[in-house]
């Protein structure tokens, strides 16, 4: 299962909003330039997230986008499902009834994969991503100082 650009770009954009949580709105242009994403496409993604109540907009010269809630309240799963729909490694799991369900050897494996994916995305919050990023950046800075 591959995430489409909707899920990948939407998660990157909300990560930027989470990094800047509490400091004011982030402009579409900044996010667009940071990740080399079309502003129009990014605006479509953020519009979907706004409809779900995860982000809000601020108009005006210093306007932009903000998270509508604390990053510790928004999971990766919430963002990905808003943009991608349900996360499933196989269509057979999302259909109501498979005619071969009782004899399917792969269904059990697909169910385990789906459960693992959902466990990760539903238990990873935007705040976790920010904390991990901060830790990685601090370690990188230390390494750079040691090289000098």
Distance CA 72, CA 128 (A): 8
Inter-residue contact 7 to 83 (CB < 8 Å): yes
E strands of 10-143, at which residues? Answer: 55-58, 64-67
Q: What is the mean pLDDT of the chain?
A: 89
CATH code for residues 5-147: 1.10.10.10
Where does residue 55 fall: left (phi above 0), alpha (psi -120 to 50 degrees), or beta otherwise?
beta
Question: Across the chain, how many H-helices and E-strands are there?
Answer: 7, 2
User: pLDDT grade, residue 132 (50/70/90)?
Assistant: very high
Q: What is the pLDDT of residues 135-148, one digit of tens each?
A: 998 888 877 777 66
Give the count of beta carbons closer than 10 Å to the beta carbon of residue 26: 22
Q: What is the pLDDT of residues 21-57, one digit of tens each?
A: 999 999 999 999 999 999 999 999 999 999 999 999 9
pLDDT(126) > 70: yes
Q: What is the mean pLDDT of residues 91-110?
A: 71
Boundaries of every domain in the chain:
5-147
């Amino acid at each position: 299962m591959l995430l489409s650009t909707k899920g990948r770009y939407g998660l990157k954009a909300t990560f930027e909003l989470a990094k800047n949580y509490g400091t004011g709105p982030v402009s579409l242009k900044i996010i667009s330039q940071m990740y080399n994403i079309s502003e129009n496409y990014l605006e479509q993604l953020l519009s979907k997230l706004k409809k779900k109540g995860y982000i809000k907009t601020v108009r005006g010269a210093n306007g932009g986008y903000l998270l509508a809630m604390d990053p510790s309240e928004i999971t990766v799963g919430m963002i990905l499902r808003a943009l991608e729909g349900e996360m499933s490694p196989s269509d057979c799991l999302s259909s109501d009834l498979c005619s071969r369900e009782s004899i399917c050897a792969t269904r059990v494996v697909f169910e385990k994969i789906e459960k693992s994916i959902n466990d990760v995305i539903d238990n990873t919050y935007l705040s976790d991503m920010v904390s991990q990023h901060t830790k990685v950046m601090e370690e990188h800075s230390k390494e750079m100082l040691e090289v000098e």
